[in-house]
Amino acid sequence: MMRLETGLILVLLTCVCAGCASRAYAPDTASETQALKIRVGDEVRVVTTNRDRMTFEVTKILDDRFAGVTVEPNAKESRPAGVDVEVPYDSVAMIQVTGFDSKAATAAAVGGLIMVTVALGTLVLTGVPVIIPP
Amino acid sequence: MTGRQLNRSRISRSCLYGVLILATCGCAYRPTIQHPKSEPIKPEATAYDCGQLDSALLKTDTVRWVIRDDGGTLETSGHRAARYLGNIFLVPLSMGLGGPFYANDAGSAVLDAADHRILELLRLKRAHGCPAGLTSEPGMTDLQMLEKLEPLMPEDGTLDRPALDRRTALLDHLRAPLPPPAVATPPGP
């Protein structure tokens, strides 16, 4: 029984951690890029249709483009840190959020902690695992 | 050292070499950004006009270029089977060497998905009667390239290395030569 509970806890934690991991998107249209809900303060890695690679922190979300400031360049990126960039939504071929806005990240962490606590509490008290809806 | 010890030593050395050889498979593939697996064409894409199809092609070609630029290659079904088999031995053997190590697919799955998406978009372009676009392949338009690609990309069946190489070489030249960078520019004062 104890092993089962430990296993369930591990599965639960894995699911919570997987939810936090960032993934890359290849939006087909500008509206799909906008639908990703990128926020000011997020750090994004982008490849444009012009084969331009860059990582920047978003400083403005405009109607048709992101504005931001480049951060320390990753492999194959040519822009140094601290350069202002503007990237039209329709030129985004690939986008990956590599760092979340600190407020959103804190809220997500607190939310995750509450969910884990509730789930573990229920598991310990009742022995029945709680399935957290997606 | 006794004969048995000598044999054991040889076997472990062979295992180690095997592990190292398998572990180097796919070493050239180093994603600099997570490579999304290109999705098959959505039903709404069949209603795209020529401009939207060209835009979708440009984006998928960019995804494909990133995968290739990061070292992605297509693997034959034989190579895939050998990799699966090798990993069965490699993973447990490498556990004692700081592993687990395993041979990855060198981006084959994501590259294959991007290739097929491009094929489908080109087919839609042809079906809609869109004007052919330029490619970097001398004397070949994208719709002419489609005709060369179709026999190289059957729906089912295994492909040999030369066919995969030919397909890769063609798709590497799908896009016309790039204009100078102008998309992401520093904002004006």
Rounded to an integer, what distance in angstroms lies between the CA atom of residue B52 and that of residue B176? 17
The amino acid at residue B22 is L
A91 touches chain B (CB under 8 A): yes
Q: Return mean pLDDT, chain B.
A: 84
The alpha-carbon gap from A120 to the nearest alpha carbon of chain B, in Å, equals: 30
Rounded to an integer, what distance in angstroms lies between the CA atom of residue B126 and that of residue A110? 52
CB spacing of B183 vs A76 below 8 angstroms: no
- Asked if the peptide bond before residue B100 counts as cis, ω within 30 degrees of 0, the response is yes
CB spacing of A85 vs B185 below 8 angstroms: yes
CB spacing of B36 vs A84 below 8 angstroms: no
Nearest to residue B169, comparing CAs of B120, B128, B115?
Answer: B115
Nearest chain A residue to B117, by CA:
A28
Structure tokens at B169: 């070489």
CB spacing of A54 vs B184 below 8 angstroms: yes
pLDDT digits (tens, 9 = 90+) for A117-128: 776 666 666 666
Nearest to residue A100, comparing CAs of A24, A32, A22?
Answer: A22
Q: How many CB atoms lie within 10 A of CB A21?
A: 7
Q: What is the ipTM of this complex?
A: 0.76
Which candidate from B45, B59, B69 shows the least CB-CB separation from A93?
A: B59
Which candidate from A26, A76, A91 shows the least CB-CB separation from B36?
A: A26
Element (H, E) at A45: strand A43-48
CB spacing of A26 vs B63 below 8 angstroms: yes
Q: What residues 27-86 of chain A have any CB closer than 8 A to a CB of chain B?
A: 27-29, 45, 47-54, 67, 74-76, 83-86
Rounded to an integer, what distance in angstroms lies between the CA atom of residue A94 and that of residue B70? 14
pLDDT digits (tens, 9 = 90+) for B142-162: 999 999 999 999 887 677 899
> b/e string for A93-127 if b means 16 or more Cβ within 10 A?
bbbbbbebbeeeeeeeeeebeebbeebbeebeeee
The alpha-carbon gap from B101 to the nearest alpha carbon of chain A, in Å, equals: 21
Q: What is the pLDDT along chain B (189 residues), one digit of tens a residue?
A: 566 665 666 655 555 555 555 555 556 888 999 888 888 888 888 889 999 999 999 999 999 999 999 999 999 988 888 999 989 988 888 888 887 888 889 999 999 999 999 999 999 999 999 999 999 999 999 999 999 999 999 887 677 899 999 999 999 999 988 766 555 555 555
Give pTM, 2 decimals. 0.75
Q: Which residues of B touch A (CB under 8 A)?
A: 30, 32-36, 38, 45, 52, 55-56, 58-60, 62-63, 65-66, 69, 178-179, 181-187
Confidence (pLDDT) at B39: 83
- Which residues on adjacent β-strands are paired with residue A53? A47
A9 touches chain B (CB under 8 A): no
